[in-house]
Structure 1
Amino acid sequence: MKTISIGIILLISILIAVWLYFTLPSYALLENRNGQWVLAARGWSIIKYCWPLITVAVLVTICVVSLIEYSVLVAKINRLRSEYEEKERSLTSAYESKLNWFKRDFISKFEAKAKEIHDKDVKLTRQNIALMTQLKDANCRAEAAEQEGKRRKNKQERASFALGKLKAKMKKREKVCACTNNL
């Protein structure tokens, strides 16, 4: 921005210098002394008498340059603001699209993982039910085998006892028969 204001000031200074160079030699300054007009200065020597006018001209020039610079700055600020707003809109839309994509991706992955976990849970539940059924069947078979073993043992014990009784009876009979045969 300094280059613009320096360039404008230089241009205005050159224009004033050219204007003064061509017009001052033909000007003269007259003063009224005691009712008579007297030549006070002519050409370039007028400048030392016209300092208030030069000061006003410099102040007006500074104001004009400041207004021009202000309008340039306002235009640049507005342009930068519109660029910033455009960039912000594009970044916001890009952020929202990325966020939506991430949400969709995350949700789809989450749903896939949840479905996988649910399927594993169902599979494990079925396996658990099958294993529990097999365990119950095995327990029932073991219990049945144990009861069968007890029943067989009881049967064997009764059979042994009956056999023992029969053997005892047979021995008695043999003794009785042997006694009767001896007689």
Structure 2
Amino acid sequence: MQDATLVQEILNAWPTPVIIGSLITLLGVFQTNSQHYKRLKYEHDHQEKINKKDLYILKGEELYMLLSNWSDNIFNEYRSFINENLIISSKSDYARMNTLVSLYFSDIQQDLSSAINKESYLVTRYDLALMPKYRSQLSDNEFIDQIHFEVNELSERINNLRKALKNSILENV
């Protein structure tokens, strides 16, 4: 009988240590999982930050190249106009530049608009220059000097825009 009582006591006592051990294990698993979650969240946030930074730099480089091409095209068009009296038309990718500035570099939106407006004004001046009435009012040298001044001013605006873009990238990276 004593053996039966001993077995009964062991069976009655057995669930308590098992439950306590299970709860401790469950708490350990919960703590481990929460630490893994925190580490994974940190890694994800860090990787997302790096990806945004890389994208920002990539789009900045693309915009910088568009601005450089625009500046180069202005001088090429100017030379062609002076040498051959060709009508100048804008070949710049305004839509792409506006999109990049709107999405990533809103702090230079006003500078871009100013440069685009300046080029529109310059193209209008080129077109007017081909009209005999306007052309007869200026000597060739005066006309060339005016156009040269306008081209230099536009080029300066584009260079300032590139500097502002560079500063914007450096500040946000």
Normalising by structure 2, what TM-score?
0.44
Q: Which has the higher contact order (CA 8 A, sep 6+)?
A: 2
Higher strand content, 1 or 2:
1
TM, length-normalised to structure 1: 0.42
Which of 1 and 2 has greater Rg? 1
